[in-house]
Amino acid sequence: MSDLYHGGMLWSLYILECADGSYYTGISNDLDSRIKAHNEGLGAKYTRGRGSSHPPS
């Protein structure tokens, strides 16, 4: 994960490994909420239907 301040906000670049073994890269200013959204099927279109997502091992 990498952090960047822009416009007074802290942004995080993140990589998730989906349950199907594929990877997704995203950016967020609220990482915990964004990962929760991915796992609830409310995140990016790419991660929907690919099972739960987590940082790669």
**% of the chain surpassing 70 pLDDT:** 93
**% of the chain surpassing 90 pLDDT:** 53
User: Given a cut of 90, is residue 37 above it in pLDDT?
Assistant: yes
In whole angstroms, give the CA distance from residue 3 to residue 19: 25
Q: Which of 35, 29, 24 minimizes the C-alpha distance to 6?
A: 29
Q: If you average pLDDT over residues 17-30, what whole number do you get? A: 93
User: Is 47 exposed, middle or buried, given 0-12, 13-18 or 19+ CB atoms closer than 10 A?
Assistant: buried
Residue carrying structure tokens 């690919």? 50
Question: Which of 57 and 35 is assigned the larger pLDDT?
Answer: 35
